[in-house]
Amino acid sequence: MSSHPIDSPRTIMPEVNRFLSIPTRILLPIDFSPSSQAALEMAADLARHFQAELYLVHVIPMFPTTTIPDLIPETVFLEKARKHAESHLAKCTAALVTRGVKSTFSVEVGNDVVGNIMQVVDREHIDMIVISTHGISGWHPLVFGSIAEKVVKLVQCPLLLLHSAKPESGVETPSKRSMEWW
């Protein structure tokens, strides 16, 4: 029997499943759907386990201007969306602090949600991503494709992809220990 601490009887993770490097900054793209709430639960557990910082990012998609007159001016829409997201993210970080998880967040705006996520990965030196497969539903995934699928194809760091059931209206999050994050 080796005297190396990794091979000790107290080893939690077997050699085959051990990370090559321990993540220190975990990114969670979040859209405030039930699916992203479940991903937040998992990301918080991972961050606590690895003593990593959890970085939450919400991307407000900008759509190209059209010839149809705007009902709400773009600047007003963006400001309201940013304040709404910042309020929810502040609640998340406060709840994370009570769970012993260091966290920060940012609200990004852009017409390429995946591009914004990848910029955050580079800018914030993210070394792991947790993302769920179903977020906000409706016509958006049909037109733009799956954000999670695109992130999986582009990202170079370890990624935990959480498969969530397609959201149905009025369905509660399946987590038995779920907190009200937002």
> What three-state secondary structure class fits 110?
strand
Convert the pLDDT of each residue in 33-79 to its tens digit. 888 898 999 999 999 999 999 999 999 988 655 545 556 677 888 99
pLDDT(127) > 80: yes
Residue 65, pLDDT score: 53
Q: Give 17 or 101, the one with higher predicted confidence.
A: 101
Q: Say yes or no to pLDDT of 8 above 60.
A: no
- Domains of the chain, CATH where assigned: 21-63+81-162 (3.40.50.620)
Q: What is the pLDDT of residues 69-116, one digit of tens each?
A: 556 677 888 999 999 999 999 999 999 999 999 999 999 999 899 999
Yes or no: say if 130 and 160 are a contact pair by the CB < 8 Å rule: yes
User: Which residue would you say has higher pLDDT here, 121 or 142?
Assistant: 121
What is the residue whose two structure tokens read 């107290």? 10
Residue 173 carries which side chain, given as an amino acid letter?
T
Q: Do 55 and 93 touch, CB atoms closer than 8 A?
A: no
Residue range 153-163: mean pLDDT, rounded: 90
Average the pLDDT over 150-155 and give the result: 90
The whole-angstrom separation of Cα 144 and Cα 73 is 23
Which residues are paired to 58 by β-bridges? 107
Tokens of 100: 């012993």
Q: What's this model's pTM, rounded to 2 decimal places?
A: 0.74
Question: Quick count: other Cβ atoms within 10 Å of Cβ 91?
Answer: 14
